[in-house]
Amino acid sequence: MINELKVFLPAHITGFFEIITNDDPRFKGSRGAGITLDEGVVTHTKVTPGSGRVEILVNGHKNELNTVSQTTIDVICDLFNVDLSCYDIFIEHSHTFPVGSGFGTSAGFALGVSFTLPTLLGIDVSYHMAGEIAHLAEIRLSSGLGDVIAAMEGGCVVRLREGSPRFGIIDKIITPQPIYVICKTLGSLETSGIIDDPSYQMKINSSGSSLLDALIRNPNIENFINLSYKFAKNTELINPELNEIIDIMRDETLGASMAMLGNTAFALSYTPDISIEDCIITRLNMSGVKYITQK
Ligand SMILES: Nc1ncnc2c1ncn2[C@@H]1O[C@H](COP(=O)(O)OP(=O)(O)O)[C@@H](O)[C@H]1O
Ligand SMILES: CC(C)(COP(=O)(O)O)[C@@H](O)C(=O)O
């Protein structure tokens, strides 16, 4: 039996969204649209016979960022009634984007665990069930609502129905040629502080719903980024400093907006050229979850 697996999950930037609550976390989530990137989170998981030790590293460090991973392990134990006392588990996440800045990093951590640990424990989970495990961890922590279902698929993902990957419904916007994604981050935003705040929920939902309808009527990448900017303005989530950067980006690209939920500007372009310093430049991901080592 294999004792280690490595998997890649693309980062996911939400352009606009609508919060859909439900007492059943499998049916709680968001509708909206976003893009996945060719960079994200690589997770390397090893399981050996042992005494219940769990070690989680994030970019080589043990720190508070192991909460999402630990919560995903807890979800696996709850769902499959697993006793970990006779295993030692080692998980290492490597991520290129800053946490909490609108790149869906928490979803990448959760999916990295859910697409490796069950298999290494001999638990047979389907592709969509592995996604559901990560979704349940995100909902439990309020660290995300719809990144999981989008990151698994790749591309420019439209979330038509909320929920875990077993119940949510997505579609994709076809891009005629390769798309560069240009990002400039000024810092983080606390996701839970926004998605759990009733006043933000009202602004988000009153705007997100109509923008999704507008994208469905005209499903193309330029419309996505322009509707995303409308959302950032309508919800008043954008700040003047970020707006200045977005204005410059918009003049040089197909369009630009704020990455939800982070203090980050992102632009879509057919070329990697931009006049702004210190941008992260990558490509629209088309593959979704990808095993680096074979199952
Ligand atoms: N590994 C982690 N452990 C604990 N909390 C995390 C972890 N990753 C992200 N978070 C928290 O979850 C929320 C969403 O994180 P993240 O998905 O990285 O946000 P974003 O998509 O905005 O970058 C943030 O509040 C962040 O602080
Ligand atoms: C926008 C957000 C609710 C949070 O995104 P992040 O902060 O990147 O986890 C996302 O999960 C979504 O549902 O679209």
DSSP string, 103-150: S-HHHHHHHHHHTTHHHHTT----HHHHHHHHHHHHHHHTS-SSHHHH
Interval between CA 263 and ligand 2 midpoint (Å): 13
Average pLDDT value for residue range 172-189: 95
Q: Which domain holds residue 64?
A: 1-295
63: tokens are 């720190």
Q: How many domains does the chain have?
A: 1
Interval between CA 144 and ligand 2 midpoint (Å): 5
Interval between CA 93 and ligand 1 midpoint (Å): 13
Q: What is the pLDDT of residue 179?
A: 97
* Contact between residue 139 and residue 28 where contact means Cβ atoms under 8 Å apart: yes
Interval between CA 205 and ligand 2 midpoint (Å): 14
Report in angstroms the alpha-carbon separations of 167 from 159, 173, 278: 11, 20, 39
Interval between CA 162 and ligand 1 midpoint (Å): 20
Q: What is the pLDDT of residue 161?
A: 98
Residue 295: pLDDT over 70: no
pLDDT category at 1 given cuts 50, 70, 90 is: confident
What is the separation, in whole angstroms, between the first and last Cα of the chain?
10
Q: What is the pLDDT of residue 63?
A: 78
CATH code of the domain covering residue 91: 3.30.230.120
* Contact between residue 286 and residue 172 where contact means Cβ atoms under 8 Å apart: no
The 10s digit of each residue's pLDDT in 82-140 is 999 999 999 999 999 999 999 999 999 999 999 999 999 999 999 999 999 999 999 99
Ligand nearest to the CA of 163: 2
Q: What is the pLDDT of residue 27?
A: 98
- The CB density around residue 287, as the number of other CB atoms within 10 Å, is 12
Q: 94: closest CA among 66, 68, 59, 67?
A: 59
The 10s digit of each residue's pLDDT in 59-98 is 999 977 789 999 999 999 999 999 999 999 999 999 999 9
Average pLDDT value for residue range 28-32: 98
CA 238 to chain centre: 20
Between strands 54-58 and 87-95, the pairing is parallel
Residue 79: cis peptide before it, omega within 30 degrees of 0? no
The predicted complex's ipTM stands at 0.90
Average pLDDT value for residue range 262-288: 96
Residue 206: pLDDT over 70: yes
Q: What is the pLDDT of residue 194?
A: 92
| Long-range pairs of 291-295 with CB within 8 A, sequence gap ≥ 24 | 291/5, 291/6, 291/7, 291/8, 291/115, 292/6, 292/7, 292/8, 292/42, 293/2, 293/4, 293/5, 293/6, 295/2, 295/5, 295/119
* Contact between residue 109 and residue 134 where contact means Cβ atoms under 8 Å apart: no
Report in angstroms the alpha-carbon separations of 250 from 217, 247, 268: 23, 5, 9
pLDDT category at 2 given cuts 50, 70, 90 is: confident
pLDDT category at 265 given cuts 50, 70, 90 is: very high
Ligand nearest to the CA of 99: 1
- The three-class DSSP label of residue 45 is strand
Interval between CA 103 and ligand 1 midpoint (Å): 9
Residue 267: pLDDT over 90: yes
Ligand nearest to the CA of 106: 1
Protein residue with least CA distance to atom 8, ligand 1:
106
Interval between CA 218 and ligand 1 midpoint (Å): 32
Residues with CB under 6 A from ligand 1: 65-69, 99-107, 109, 143-144, 190-192, 261-262
Protein residue with least CA distance to atom 7, ligand 2:
261
Between strands 29-49 and 87-95, the pairing is antiparallel
Among 41, 105, 145, 194, the mutation site with the greatest number of ligand 2 atoms within 8 A of its Cβ is 145
Protein residue with least CA distance to atom 4, ligand 2:
144
Among 16, 31, 191, 194, the mutation site with the greatest number of ligand 2 atoms within 8 A of its Cβ is 191
- The three-class DSSP label of residue 31 is strand
Ligand 2 and 114: CB distance under 6 A: no
Between strands 156-161 and 169-173, the pairing is antiparallel
| Burial class of residue 41, CB neighbours in 10 A (0-12, 13-18, 19+) | buried
SS3 content of the chain, % helix, strand, coil (to 5): 40, 30, 30
Interval between CA 23 and ligand 2 midpoint (Å): 19
Stretch among 1-10, 105-114, 256-265 having the lowest mean pLDDT: 1-10
Name beta bridge partners: 87. Answer: 49
Ligand 2 and 102: CB distance under 6 A: yes
* Contact between residue 75 and residue 140 where contact means Cβ atoms under 8 Å apart: yes
Protein residue with least CA distance to atom 15, ligand 1:
100
Q: Alpha-carbon distance 38 to 63, whole Å?
A: 26
